[in-house]
Amino acid sequence: MMGLQSFIAERKKDKDLLVMAHVVCGYPSFEDNLKELEIMAEAGVDIVELQFPFSEPSADGPLFVRANEQSLKSGTTVDQCFELMAEVSERFSFKVLMMGYYNTAFKMGEDVFVQRLKAAGGVGFILPDLPIEEAGDLHKLAADAGIEPVILMTPTSSDKRLAQLGAASRGMVYAVARKGVTGSKTNMGDDVIALIERCREHTDVPIGVGFGVSSKQDMDFLRGHADMAIIGTAALKIWEQSGAEGLRAFFKEMMA
């Protein structure tokens, strides 16, 4: 199976800006997830992060917080999330990442987590509350299994820190476009470009930019700077407002 980094390199041959999309497992429902994912696949999305809902989503903004909460309330389990992942990675051509909070992995055991992720066809994971200092064992297990941890680089990271993060980065890096939580608009400008450039200095893996990517302009802005745009809240907002039709139109415009 192809790893994240080579997959991105492969896809980049035909495209100047890849797209990563986001889905909260079980919200509004697993059926809806599949509908969303189908639209994403159709639109040509390259990677999807499946968020495993957590009761304390402290790095998320209001929309995802509610999504996490509702999903858990309706009974979503880790098993179901892995089942969705297995089905999705089988059925669609995009690659699938696990996104969530570290406790989900910690509670089942890091080794089990990596094995189940691999078994479900996932190629990597994003755990925003797991800093590299705490990630040693997990990263090693992942490396052994050919699973790639996505590391986040941020506007507040010093050069020294970026160097550390760069050294640990595998598959791709998630550049956080601004301070704050997911969900609000980011003013795409010189700051973001400067961030991408600083990230580039410290890593060779592809760079995706996320947090607030929500419009065609954002996409155009990122093109040529980032390898990938990461679309999160914006898609969920559209789905909630105007369903499948809206989402289809949204991705069509974004990826035009």
Tell me which residues are annotated as active site: 49, 60
Query: Residue 11: is it exposed, middle or buried by C-beta count within 10 angstroms (0-12/13-18/19+)?
Result: buried
- CA–CA–CA angle 78, 236, 231 (5° rounding): 95
- State the DSSP H helix or E strand holding residue 200, giving kind and residue range, or none if neither: helix 190-202
The residue among 184 and 215 lying less far from another protein, judged by its C-beta, is 184
Minimal distance, residue 152 CB to another protein, in Å: 4
Could you give the CA distance from residue 217 to residue 234 in angstroms, rounded to a whole number? 13
Minimal distance, residue 106 CB to another protein, in Å: 5
Cβ pair 249, 217 in contact under 8 A:
no
Cβ pair 90, 121 in contact under 8 A:
yes
Minimal distance, residue 11 CB to another protein, in Å: 26
Minimal distance, residue 52 CB to another protein, in Å: 9
Residues that bind another protein (CB under 8 A): 53-62, 65-66, 69, 72, 77-78, 101-104, 106-108, 128-131, 133-134, 151-158, 161, 165, 176, 179-181
Could you give the CA distance from residue 192 to residue 104 in angstroms, rounded to a whole number? 31
> How much is the CA Rg of the chain, to the nearest whole Å?
17
Token pair in block for residue 171: 């598959």
The residue among 22 and 248 lying less far from another protein, judged by its C-beta, is 22
The residue among 104 and 203 lying less far from another protein, judged by its C-beta, is 104
Minimal distance, residue 36 CB to another protein, in Å: 23
- State the DSSP H helix or E strand holding residue 234, giving kind and residue range, or none if neither: helix 233-254
The residue among 186 and 248 lying less far from another protein, judged by its C-beta, is 186
HSE-CB for 169 with a 13 A CA cutoff: 25
The residue among 109 and 243 lying less far from another protein, judged by its C-beta, is 109
